[in-house]
Structures are given as structure tokens and as C-alpha cells.
Amino acid sequence: MKRGGDRDNMAPAGAIGSRTRRRAVFASAELGRELDKATFKAKQPELREALLEAQFELAERRDFSVVVLISGVDAAGKGETVNTLNFWMDPRLIETNAMGEPTQEERERPRMWRFWRALPPRGKIGIFFGIWYTVPIVDRVYGKSDDAGLQAAIDEILRFEAMLASESTLVLKYWLHLSKDRQRERFKALERDAHTRWRVADDEWERFQLYDTFRAVSEITLRRTSVPHAPWIVVEGSDARYRLTTTARSLLESLWARLENAPPSPAEAVPPKLPELKDRNVLRALDLTGILPRKKYHRELGALQSRLNLLSRHKKMAERSVVLVFEGVDAAGKGGTIRRVAGALDARFYRIIQIAAPSDEERAHPYLWRFWRHLPRAGHFTIFDRSWYGRVLVERVEGFAAEADWTRAYGEINDFEFEMNRHGIVVVKFWLHISREEQYRRLKERQETGHKRYKLTEEDWRNRMRWDAYEEAVCDMVARTGTSIAPWHLVSSEDKYAGRVEVLKTICETIDAAL
Amino acid sequence: MKRGGDRDNMAPAGAIGSRTRRRAVFASAELGRELDKATFKAKQPELREALLEAQFELAERRDFSVVVLISGVDAAGKGETVNTLNFWMDPRLIETNAMGEPTQEERERPRMWRFWRALPPRGKIGIFFGIWYTVPIVDRVYGKSDDAGLQAAIDEILRFEAMLASESTLVLKYWLHLSKDRQRERFKALERDAHTRWRVADDEWERFQLYDTFRAVSEITLRRTSVPHAPWIVVEGSDARYRLTTTARSLLESLWARLENAPPSPAEAVPPKLPELKDRNVLRALDLTGILPRKKYHRELGALQSRLNLLSRHKKMAERSVVLVFEGVDAAGKGGTIRRVAGALDARFYRIIQIAAPSDEERAHPYLWRFWRHLPRAGHFTIFDRSWYGRVLVERVEGFAAEADWTRAYGEINDFEFEMNRHGIVVVKFWLHISREEQYRRLKERQETGHKRYKLTEEDWRNRMRWDAYEEAVCDMVARTGTSIAPWHLVSSEDKYAGRVEVLKTICETIDAAL
């Protein structure tokens, strides 16, 4: 059947030698453990009932989701294990994701997009075949990356899994192992049977030649990524009964442990507070005095819009995409600015995402899920009217997010933007600023004039009361997420014409530089 | 830029002759209407403010969505019109969908999937370029279909749009027109300008040669699909100011008309009630006596699961997919049956969708949207545990849906299944049935035994009270949606073993026949 194959068929690798530390990971999975048929049959009903009960408890409570990674060596029984888990448990509450070759829509987004879109909602279990470990390990084995490259990939994975764990996800990682001899035996057995012969192709034997290397790389990777909130469980794969029972038991225990206890929060290094310089911060330092005469504004705006339009039709844009982020003080003119930007673009190639309250599907997933889902395809723009920075702005200031949550958000956001950047997405972030006095004038004006009325909410007035808290949050945000790949552009909108022109100019320059 | 092109660039066609009836559609759009600059400028602010206000009213009320189709002849200003609408209105409440070449993920689903996934939620406007009219018209012009084929396509479109209209969607269809002379002039003008020359390729001139044919086919199509709940508005395209103002005004008026009045419900032919034969109906006629001895059951089940597994790996399955629908009396054993079916399949290639209360995103879209979104990719199975039939079962019986809504659902469901069938999806539908006495026994048993407790809800007991109403609903459902392409399989689950075996057998036979 021509379907995306399981890209996760890899032989483990490793120079099994005198270095006992190296042996630690897989050694206990090469003992030839078996489970006799009678015990297996006898223990099954109880195990299955317990699994079902844990599943229903999970489904009913809906306070976390479970991500189960199934990886390991070729022919160690990954498929059979997943099928059995589905059969033993209620498959209606399991989503199995086979990550084969990425589809066109997936290739047009950052590497992790396909995993994000497949994350299970709270209350469900998502099983992943073909996982985020595959590419880093394979690349290292085939020499496409070096040790530093592998380490960088591992660091990213660690941050990603820590994020999942913090976002109400129980992460369990199973590695089904076979010793080299056992794998050879298993391949031969498969080849002898006409029904299973197709499963052992040249690829499998080719990878078998690299068994030792695969083992070494996998071992390093597993050792470095086995953390309390996302442990690796290495299971000896040769005996099906042992493998199935062990995996199922481990899953069961982990489920109950989590159902019964609050999750062990991954250690979060809370960065030290920046020294407070009340009188001097990036916002207060912003020059709000610039004024652009109306006539000049129209001339410059037109020129910049033409330039942006040309850039959006640039040949190289076919493989790139653009994400624009607009944050700002209420009434700073985000809407008007966004419309001037959109006005320069062909409506077919942009989408504006207004961030308000999340939908219930969004609420059932990790925080960043609702932003990942809107990442543009190649050649397209996504304009975020408010964004993922809500977590470190409104959610922080209003207390909607716990301190631990908004604190770790800085790092998660940086990772998110790094992913985008690596994929070639141009990320441009704006903070539109006005003085407190100007804000008062504008809110008053809105209250009084016709079609602007709609924009004014109770919230605008309430937010105004918290000016200082917001100012502090903005300064922290700029300090912690203003990275070289996605710097913050603080723009004075005190004169809205000057603000719009500056925004357009910045967008043009950033895209220009990127192409 | 290499991006999916606008497939909707078609020249209209028609033998402009003595037949005045034929001229009617486009004649009034060939009068050379213009709007002078002064009037245009003077009227703009008021028009824009009114549009914004209508939009915010729409967004605030969220009780319907707006689908705007933009179609028409090449160079009549479709892109400019959409861009202007986005600029005049609040683009944050508009989703513009350019339907270019379908992506791989779209090609693996039925033709209408891409439109379904792009439908705007209530409160928003979705503008579509490249619409469901394109393929039928182009196919007819190039002789890929005949008059009967065009008429069949038109009938489908009419039913689809009637469904949208009934599902809280305001459907507005704009056709931007140019006479043959005007189009020639426009092409030449575009060619003269170095900036726009790229817009007139050989394709455009080729289609221009077919102007008359395109016109004829478009005229027939427009005439037949201009219905009160989804009218065509033909706009003369040559003068930009006239075109923009007319389109915007029409949109504005339609928005307000809908905001102020309940929608004109599309005429729905309520099929005559079937003569009631209280004593004899398909459910009562079902033989519930068959019993399968346990030993024989295990043997047959194993054989059928192997057969299904082989079928699922069949070469031809790479381009097909399977949708299984399970409905049935409470406690009839849907869950157990589904698990036996799933147990035959590789977990990587199926997904079980449990239908319970819709999410808020689902609620904001037409009823069938939540089922369309789960249609399987090629080579995959989707198993629906309860389904779109909820509308004519629980929603009908419990009064959650108005009679007009569940009545029209029969036709909509038939269309939905026809779409799947045409795409090559194998659809197999089951009603699992047990006697009232057996149901009582099973519900009691569930209440008393351990891990089955979870399945029992108050609702089960309540539903039981409505046995007769459900029986009537099921009989109507079978009569009205039991089509040759997607027949109902009524299966006795009185003996659950016999039921499971019959289900598996039916699935195997249906897939077998389809391949």
C-alpha cells in the first residue's frame, strides 16, 4: 500500500564496549526476558480492565492529555504494540498518528507543525509513530549533522517536551529494543514467512549494517532526553507477550500516577527580575514627538504600499511566508495600521487572525496550539491582531495565568519564533505605543463618534487603570523576547500617520533583508 | 509568484443572437455604465461607514455567516474588487479564500471538502475566489461534459446552496461581466503596461477565443442557479468606480436585509409521511433470533478480521478510503463491535470519531461541517461512533432540531454520501438493533458490573422511554437515506457475537465489491 511509511524504523546503534556507562540504557533490555503464555493469559483481563478504567477517568476529568511516543529498532514490534494497546483499551479515546512523509501542506510549515496539529485534546491519548526524535538521530547516523547538531536538536526537544508537560500533557516515550542478534533473527524469521516477507526490504538490511552506529546515537539521545516529566521507557522487544504486558503496565501506572497526583512540574529557571529603573525603560525612552504632515503621509504611504506589494510578489516569496504580530496599547491604532498593511497585499494571500477568547477546542490544547494552527502556507501572510504575547501581557497583568505559566512562556515563545525563523518565515513584531494622555483622548473620542463606537469596551477603560502593570509587562516582554531573529519594533503611534509609515517601512525592510 | 492561480478566470460565453431570453442575464451589464470620480468620492465615506457598521452588527450577533462568491470574466476586476472590499471593510472579519490548484490533502478528499473546510464561522464573511461553479462551466465549455452533465452539476450546486442558506449562511454570488469588446480592450490595455503585462498570458487569449461559448454556458448556469436564497448579482466590470460601488452597495443591502429580517427559508419539499404500518416495519421485521455459538464466533471472527486486514492492505486501497457509520439502539453493542473492526486494522490507518456534543467551533458552522472535517485521507478509515444521523434520530426525537431542519437533513445527508461515493470513498452504514427486553437486561447488567459502569448514563434510561419515537425515526431514516450507493445494514445484535460477525462480513463484502 502506498501510504506514508513509518519513518521511525531505525536500528539502534552503539559501540557496545567496555564503557559501562554507555551500556546502561539498553543493557537491561537485552536479557532475553519472556513471559509465558499462561501468565500472560491470566493477567490480561485485569490489566485490560484497569487500563479501561484509567482511560475513562482521564476522559471524564479532561484535565490532561497523554502523548505516547513509540519508537525503537526495526522489527521490535512497534506496530503490534500500538495495535494491541488500541485493542485492549477503548480505541475511541486514542488517536494514533502515523507520521510518514510530510504532505505538501506540512512541508510548507515549520518542522513541528505536523506534530502540533496532531496533539490530542485533554482527555485523550495520542500515540505517535514517527516522532520528533527520528530526524535528529537519522541525520547524525548518516553524518548529515555532527555532535553539536545533535545536541542542539536534543536541547530543542527537551524544551518542547518541558512545554508539553507544563501544558497539561503527560509525555511517555517507549523505546522497543532488540539486541543485534535478536534483530537479525527476527528479520530472518520475517523473511521466511510469505505473509511478512514484504516487511524486510533492502532498507532494513542496510540499516542493520549500521546497527552499532544507530545504537550509539540512540543511546546518547535517550540518555539526554530521559527527564522526570518525559521519561524514556526501554522495553525489550523480542518476546511479544513480555513486550505488550510491560508496555501496557507502564502506561497504566503512569496514567494512574498522574491521575492521582499533581504533575511534577518541570524545573523552571525563573530568570532573575531585571533591575527596575522606574524612570527609564524602553517605553518611556520612546520618542513620541514625531509628526508626519498629512500630505507627506499619503505620499509615503502610497510608496511603501507599492513597495510591499512588489515584495509580496517577489519570486522568492513563493517559498517564504510572513508572520506579522501587532500588539500595543489599547487605542494605539492597531486596527488602522493593520488595514494599511493589508491594503498593500492581495487579499488572496493574507489572513488576519484576531486573537480573542480561545474556542473550547483551543482551550483543550497547549497554549501555543491556537497560533500554530494559523501559520501561513508558503507564499502567504498571516497578520496577528494580538498574539501569543497575550500570555505575558493581559494574562500576566490580569492574573489569568499563574506566574509559573507566564514565566515559562518567554522561553516557549522564543522557541516558537525560532522554529518559524528556521523554516524561513519572516517574523515582524510591533508594539504600538501612545502616551496615557493620548489614549484618554482617543477613548473619549471613540465614545462620542459614530462608527468608532463599536471598538470601545468596558475593558478598555479597565485596562487603562493598570497602565503601570502593563508597562512593566511590556518592558519584560521586550527584554526577554526581543531576539535577533525576531526583534521587537516599538513604534510611536502618538501621531498615527507617522506610526503607520514606520510600520510599513519596517515590514518592507525586514522582508527585503530576508529575501 | 508560484502560487495556486485563480482558477476562476473564465471568459463568459454565449451566442449573442436574436434570442432575447438568452441575453437577459448579461445584457444589463453591457450598457457601459460609469460612475464619475466626484460622485464616487462623495459617496464613499458613507458607504464605508455603513459597511463597517453592518459588519460589526454581524460579528456581534453571530447568528449567521456570509459566503460571498466572486466570479466573472477575465480582467473584469475580481481581484481589485475583493481587495477594495477588504480595505473598505474590516479585513479582520473577512476570510478571503483563493482556491487555486487543490493541494494533495485536498485531492485525497471529495471535491467539496476544500470549500467545506473554508466555510466561515457565524459572524464572519468568507470571500471565495475560484468557486464551485468553475469546474462545471469549464468542463462544459471544453466538451468534457454534456448538457446533462452540466445540469446534474447545477442540481448539486442548488442543493448545496440551499443547505447553506438553511444553515444560517447568507450566500451572495457576484458575477463581474465585460462585453467581448470591452474584454479585448482591457487585455490590450493591460498588455501595454509593463507592470500588468504578466496578467495577460496565452491562456487569457485562448479563453478569449472561446468568449461566446463561455458566455452561453455561464448564462445558462447563472440563470438556473439564481435563486431567492442565493441570487446572482451581475455587475458591469469595465468602470472600476461603478463596479466597486455597485458591489459594495449590494453587499451592504443584502447584509442589512438579512440582519433586519429572518431569512427567507428555501422552499423545502417535505416528503409525504410514509403510510404508517405500526405492526410491520423494517425494525420489527428484523429477525433477532440468530445465535452464534462462542466457538464458531471466535473462528469466524478471526477469519473475517484477517480478510479485512488483507483488504485494508490491498493495492487499490492506496487511492480509496473507507467511512464506517455505526448507529444503533443504546446498549446494542456499538462499542464492542467497533473494537472488533478496529482490531482488524492497523492503528496507523484508522481514526474513530465519537460523536457527542459539538464544540463551539463546530456549532458556528453548518451542521455537516463537523463530519466533513474528519473525512479520511486516501488509504485511511474513519469509523464514526454515531454520526450525522443524529439529526434525524436524537435531535428529531428530543426536539433539539426544528422539524424543518431534520426534514431537510435527509436530502443533505444523501448529497453528502453521494459526494463521498463519487470520490471513491466506501461508505458502510450500520444500525445495530436489539429488542426492548434485551436492552433492559443489558442496562441493568451494566449498572451492576464493574468496568461497564462508565457506559451507563441517565440518558440511556431516558431514551428507553422513547422507544416508539425512536423506532419511527429509524424507519424514516432507513426509508429516506437507504440509497443504492450507501444502503443501511440493519443488524441484529440480540446475540452480540452474531452481530459482530455480520458487521465484519458486510464490511468485507462491501469493500471487496468496491475494489
pLDDT in tens, B418-433: 999 999 999 999 999 9
**Phi/psi at A170 (5° precision):** -90, 120
Least confident of A6-15, B253-262, B297-306, B402-411: A6-15
Q: Are A247 and A45 in contact (CB under 8 A)?
A: no
Asked whether the beta carbons of residue B86 and residue A359 sit closer than 8 angstroms, the reply is: no
pLDDT tens digits, one per residue of B246-261: 999 999 999 999 999 8
**ipTM exceeding the 0.85 mark:** no
Residue B17 pLDDT more than 60?
Answer: no
What contacts B268, CB < 8 A, 6 or more positions away?
A: B162, B166, B404, B407, B408
**Closest chain A residue by Cα to residue B355:** A92
Nearest CA distance, A105 vs chain B (angstrom): 7
Chain A residue numbers with beta carbons less than 8 Å from the beta carbon of B386 are: none
Name the more confident of A410 and A271: A410
Q: Which of B97, B348, B381, B386 is most worth mutating to test chain A (most A CB atoms within 10 A of its CB)?
A: B348
Coil, helix or strand at residue B197: helix
* Cross-strand partners of B94: B125
pLDDT tens digits, one per residue of B319-365: 999 999 999 999 999 999 999 999 999 999 999 999 988 999 999 99
Q: What percent of chain B has pLDDT over 90?
A: 71
Least confident of A3-12, A315-324, B123-132: A3-12
Residue B415 pLDDT more than 60?
Answer: yes
Measure CA of the first residue to CA of the last residue in chain B; give whole Å: 41
Tell me the whole-structure pTM to 2 decimals.
0.86
Residue A17 pLDDT more than 50?
Answer: no
pLDDT band for position A101 (cuts 50, 70, 90): confident
Asked whether the beta carbons of residue A83 and residue B346 sit closer than 8 angstroms, the reply is: yes
Residue B277 pLDDT more than 70?
Answer: no
Q: What percent of chain A has pLDDT over 90?
A: 71
Residue A452 pLDDT more than 70?
Answer: no
Distances (CA, A) of B497 to B392, B417, B435, B493: 28, 29, 15, 8
**Closest chain B residue by Cα to residue A50:** B451
Q: Are A379 and A317 in contact (CB under 8 A)?
A: yes
Average pLDDT value for chain B: 88
For range A421-440, the mean pLDDT: 95
Asked whether the beta carbons of residue A1 and residue B104 sit closer than 8 angstroms, the reply is: no
Q: Are A66 and A169 in contact (CB under 8 A)?
A: yes
Nearest to A105 among B6, B52, B105 (CB): B105
Residue B475 pLDDT more than 60?
Answer: yes
Nearest to B86 among A60, A317, A342 (CB): A342
Buried b (16+ CB within 10 A) or exposed e, B332-365: bbbbebbbbbbbbbbbbbbbbbebeeebeebebb
How far is A29 from A76, CA to CA, in rounded Å? Answer: 11
How far is B17 from A511, CA to CA, in rounded Å? Answer: 53
Name the more confident of B261 and B503: B503
Chain B residue numbers with beta carbons less than 8 Å from the beta carbon of A354 are: 92-93
pLDDT band for position A270 (cuts 50, 70, 90): low
DSSP state of B388: G
Residue A497 pLDDT more than 90?
Answer: yes
pLDDT band for position A90 (cuts 50, 70, 90): very high
pLDDT band for position A480 (cuts 50, 70, 90): very high
Residue B46 pLDDT more than 70?
Answer: yes
Q: Are A31 and A236 in contact (CB under 8 A)?
A: yes
Chain A residue numbers with beta carbons less than 8 Å from the beta carbon of B454 are: 52-53, 56, 60
* Cross-strand partners of A350: A381
- pLDDT for B29 equals 80
Chain B residue numbers with beta carbons less than 8 Å from the beta carbon of A68 are: none
Asked whether the beta carbons of residue A317 and residue B56 sit closer than 8 angstroms, the reply is: no
